[in-house]
Amino acid sequence: MTKMYETLKLEQVSDHVLVVYINRPEARNAMNTQMGLDLRELWQEIYVDQGDLRCVVVTGTGDKAFCAGGDLKERNGMSDAQWQRQHAIFEQAVLALLQVPVPVIAAVNGAAFGGGTEIALCCDFIYAAERARFALTEITLGIIPGAMGTQNLPRAVGDRRAKEIILTGLPFDADDGLKWGMVNKVCENERLLEETLATATRIAENAPLSTRRAKRVVSLAREVDIHSGYALELEAYNRLVPTEDRLEGVRAFNEKRRPDFKAR
């Protein structure tokens, strides 16, 4: 992808892997209105046309912050109507992120507060640097999480831990996130992107049609009963049987070579 964004930096690190940098380091990568517009457009574009893209990594520019949440300097003095109009853009952006067909990995390189934690939670899973810090601080500002934090956090850490995190507004570190099930892996600070890209590359080497369908079915698993979920799994499975990639995967296994998947 070659499109330029005001608040995002895109780096195509291989034919199949894209890194998205949240890029407002002067504001600790805080989310202003333009960032909401940029994120919404990016995720919608990927939803419409993945091209050769098979995995996305989201991280922050610099070594201090992944995303410090909503830009309270921009929000200072907003009317209720202006605040809600801006928030509607953020709502559309996170909903669009959830709908991205290819896997999205958060590489949390520093502070992820408020909306920063919520963006990470909307990704498929999270790798975090040792220095990463998380918090849902909205309750200390007289609001509550509004970018799916009250929905995604309990699914990651359980209801009781989520209530403690949200109701106190207190920060927690990467090791706590790992222990509680929100973070998949804690990496040395300087190796975060390297290790995240290694996983993204491994995902991108697998059959892309299979990867997208597996992501979709797993994402729905908590939303339906087990029999309905299994029916969705079997539908996805049977759609993959007649694909060229399924034939290539079996051939490559028997020929003891790496498969060359074409997303067909």
Mean pLDDT by 10 residues, the chain (264 residues): 89 97 97 98 97 97 95 94 96 98 98 98 98 97 97 97 98 98 98 98 97 96 94 96 94 93 92
Catalytic residue among 45, 74, 91, 138: 138
Which amino acid would we find at residue 217?
Answer: V
Q: What local confidence, expressed as pLDDT, does residue 3 receive?
A: 82
| CATH superfamily assigned to domain 8-204 | 2-enoyl-CoA Hydratase; Chain A, domain 1 (3.90.226.10)
Residue 59 sits at the vertex; the CA angle it makes with 54 and 65, to the nearest 5 degrees, is 170
CATH architecture for segment(s) 207-254: Orthogonal Bundle (1.10)
Domains 8-204 and 207-254 share a fold: no
Q: In the chain, what are the domain boundaries?
A: 8-204, 207-254
77-125 residue pLDDT tens: 999 999 999 999 999 999 999 999 999 999 999 999 999 999 999 999 9
Q: Which DSSP symbol is given to 142?
A: T
Q: How far apart are CA 132 and CA 213, in angstroms?
A: 31
H/E stretch holding 127 reads: strand 125-129
Half-sphere exposure of 75 (CA within 13 A, CB side): 16
Catalytic residue check, 45: no
Catalytic residue among 118, 194, 205, 248: 118
Q: How far apart are CA 31 and CA 79, in angstroms?
A: 18
H/E stretch holding 105 reads: strand 104-108
Catalytic residue check, 118: yes
- The encoded tokens of residue 188 equal 């040395």
